[in-house]
Chains A and B, each alone.
Chain A
Amino acid sequence: MAYQRILNDDVLNQVKDIFKQLTNEVKVILFVSASAEEVSGITQQLLGEVCGASDKIHLEVFDVVNDNAIAKQYKVSGKAPAIVVAAKDGDVITDYGIRFLGVPSGHEFGTLIQDIVMVSSRESGLSEAAKTYIKSLASPLHLEVFVTPG
């Protein structure tokens, strides 16, 4: 069967254009699972096309069960597909606590692209007041943002 891209030429060219502004390197880590085979496959293909749009983005894929130590390190144990968008400086990967659980489709596709641009810039874009407060947190903060794809 011929390979069929998920992103059409228009979208892919727009993504390539956006990624021309990338300065620092980005690591995208995907956790897949046989128990979520179809959505894991779709997500892996989508991320392959997105990450292939710039040589500053590096994709790595793990299995959430077979690579459970790494899944635990990134706090995605038992969750797939799960996406981490992190900074890459040489061999050093910096986890910014950014996660997607599920296929980033529809509106969330745009969020994925914005996340990659943001992480590459190494600047969150939050207001100074918000940054001051969030940096002062003395206990963990877990945000779960539920969305509907499409």
Chain B
Amino acid sequence: MLLAHQIAMTNPEMVLAEGVSAQEFMDLSATYGISSVPDTVINGKGRVIGAVPENNLIQEIKRLMGA
């Protein structure tokens, strides 16, 4: 979650990073079929499961949004 917040802080006009408690927001979790955590959903489409290093998350964001 901290990594996502670091990304948001870098460009807050473009980025919103929400840490979501899966148990308290069950409807939202169900929408995405969350089964294991941490699970990072990117623009409602991309997924990165697990706590990954900065480069891994950035690469997945680039893949979805264009480098």
Contacts and interface: CB of A to CB of B under 8 A. Distances in A.
Contacts of B10: 124, 126, 130-131, 134-135
B18 A101 contact: yes
A96 B2 CA distance: 13
A25 to B, nearest CB: 16
Given A130-B58, A145-B1, A99 B43 contact: no
Nearest to A149: B21
Q: What is the interface residue range for chain A against chain B? A: 35 or more
Contacts of A36: 24
Q: Is the interface of B mostly helix, strand, loop or mixed?
A: mixed
| Interface SS of chain A | mixed
A102 B2 contact: no
Contact of A147 (B9, B21, B42, B65): B21
Interface in B16-49: 16-25, 28-29, 32, 34, 37-44
Interface string A91-134: 00011111111111000100100110011000011110011011
Given A118-B6, A124-B6, A143 B21 contact: no
Nearest to B58: A130
Contacts of B5: 85, 96-98, 111, 115, 118
A99 B34 CA distance: 19
Nearest to A119: B9
Given A143-B41, A146-B29, A130 B7 contact: yes
Interface of A: 36, 39, 75, 79, 85, 94-104, 108, 111, 114-115, 118-119, 124-127, 130-131, 133-135, 137-149
